[in-house]
C-alpha cells in the first residue's frame, strides 16, 4: 500500500507555563491510500486535535506532518488553504452547512471558491453527488430546511466535491438517529470502495468503528492501538 499521510513525533501543547496542556505527546501515524479507518479514544485523548492538525487547520507544536509527499508543517497559510481545498474533505458532527445556501450551492462551494464561480461542470458534479446521496429532490432546497440526516449527507457530498484523497470525519453520525447514521456510513463505505477515497472517522460508537477496516485508538496523546 502507498502511504497517503504520515505524522511522526507529533506534539501539540496549548497554553504556556503552569497552564500548559500537552494534548499530543509524540504521536505517530500513517494512513495508506484507500484506507477507511476509525479513530477511537476517550474524550480528551487528543482525537479532535489530531484531526484538526491532519486537516491542516492547526499546526503541531513539533513533529512531522506530510501528505502526498508535501511537508505541511513548513507550508504557509495560503498554501495550506489551497492544499486543504484540493486534497482534504471535512465532515463535521454538526454538518456545518452554510444556512443561507441551497443544498446544491453548499456542495458546489469547494470548487466554486477555487474557480471564482459556479461552473456548469461543478454544478453537474454537485447534482451527481447529491443524487448518489439520495437527495435528487433537494438540489435547490434551502439547507436550513433539511432534516439532520439530509444535512449530514449534503456535508458528505460537499466533502467529496473536489475528489479529495482524504476525508476527515469528526463524529459524523454523533448527532443522527441509528437509521440515519447507518445510511451515512453506508454511503461513506460505498465511496471508499468505489473511488478509493481515504476516510479517517473519529467516533465513540463501537458499531460505527466496526464498519471500518482499521481502528486506531488514541489515548493520552499517543496511538495506543
Partner 1 sequence: MLYALKIATRYLTASKAQTALLVLGVAVGVFIFIFMSALIGGLAEFILSRTVGDISHVTITAEDRDPAILISPDGMILAVTERGRARTATLAEAATFVPLIETVPGVIAVSPQITGAGFLTRGAQVAQVSVTGLEPGRESAILNLDGYMTQGSARLGAGLIVLGETLADDLSLRLGQTLRLQSSSGVSAVLTLSGIYSTGNGMIDASSTYVSLSTARTLFGLPQGVTRIEIKLADLNAADATALRIRALTGLDAVPWTDGAEQLMEALNAQAQTGYFLKSFALITIVIGVASALLLSTYRRRPEIGIMRAIGAGRGFVIFVFVTQGALIGLMGGLTGAALGYLALLPFPSRDAFEVGTLPMDITQGSYGLAITLTVIGAILASILPARAAARVDPVTAIGQ
Q: Using CB under 8 A as the criterion, which residues of the chain lie in contact with partner 1 when the complex forms?
A: 52, 55, 57-58, 77-78, 81-82, 84-86, 89-90, 92, 96-101, 109-110, 112-118, 158, 162
Residue placing its CB nearer to partner 1 in the complex, 59 or 64: 59
- CA proximity to 11, closest of 24, 2, 28: 24
Strand ordering across the sheet containing 214-219:
88-91, 166-170, 198-202, 36-40, 214-219, 222-223
Kindly state the smallest distance separating residue 151's Cβ from partner 1, in Å: 13
To the nearest whole angstrom, how small is the minimum distance from the Cβ of residue 201 to partner 1? 17
Identify the CA nearest to 142 among candidates 106, 170, 178, 171.
Answer: 106
When the beta carbons of 74 and 79 are compared against partner 1, the nearer one is 79
Distance in angstroms (rounded) separating the CA atoms of residues 203 and 44: 13
Nearer to partner 1, 96 or 215 (CB): 96
Q: How far is the CB of 210 from partner 1 (least distance, A)?
A: 27
Name the residue nearer to partner 1 (CB basis): 74 or 98.
98
User: Between residues 110 and 149, which has the closer beta carbon with respect to partner 1?
Assistant: 110
Q: Say what the alpha-carbon torsion angle 27, 32, 33, 39 is, to the nearest 10 degrees.
A: -50
Residue 34 φ/ψ region, left for φ over 0, alpha for ψ in the -120 to 50 degree band, beta for the rest: left
CB of 191 to partner 1, least distance (A): 17
- Give the span between the Cα atoms of 167 and 127, in whole angstroms: 20
Q: Please, what is the minimum distance in Å from the beta carbon of residue 167 to partner 1?
A: 12
Amino acid at each position: 500500500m502507498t502511504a497517503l499521510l504520515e505524522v511522526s513525533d507529533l506534539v501539540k501543547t496549548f497554553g504556556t507555563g503552569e497552564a500548559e496542556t500537552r494534548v499530543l505527546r509524540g504521536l505517530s501515524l500513517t494512513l495508506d491510500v484507500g484506507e477507511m479507518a476509525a479513530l477511537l479514544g476517550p474524550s480528551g485523548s487528543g482525537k479532535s486535535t489530531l484531526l484538526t492538525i491532519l486537516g491542516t487547520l492547526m499546526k503541531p507544536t513539533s513533529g512531522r506532518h506530510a501528505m502526498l509527499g508535501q511537508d505541511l508543517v513548513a507550508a504557509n497559510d495560503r498554501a495550506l488553504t489551497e492544499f486543504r481545498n484540493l486534497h482534504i474533505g471535512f465532515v463535521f458532527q454538526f454538518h456545518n452547512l452554510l444556512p443561507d445556501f441551497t443544498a446544491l450551492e453548499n456542495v458546489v462551494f469547494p470548487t466554486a471558491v477555487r474557480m471564482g464561480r459556479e461552473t456548469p461542470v461543478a454544478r453537474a458534479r454537485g447534482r451527481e453527488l447529491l443524487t448518489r446521496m439520495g437527495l435528487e429532490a433537494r438540489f435547490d432546497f434551502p439547507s436550513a430546511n433539511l432534516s439532520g440526516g439530509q444535512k449530514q449527507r449534503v456535508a458528505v457530498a460537499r466533502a467529496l466535491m473536489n475528489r479529495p484523497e482524504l476525508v476527515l470525519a469528526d463524529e459524523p453520525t454523533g448527532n443522527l438517529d441509528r437509521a440515519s447514521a447507518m445510511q451515512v456510513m453506508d454511503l461513506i463505505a460505498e465511496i471508499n470502495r468505489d473511488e478509493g477515497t481515504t476516510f479517517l472517522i473519529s467516533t465513540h460508537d463501537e458499531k460505527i468503528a466496526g464498519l471500518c477496516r482499521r481502528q486506531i485508538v488514541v489515548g493520552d496523546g499517543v496511538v495506543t492501538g
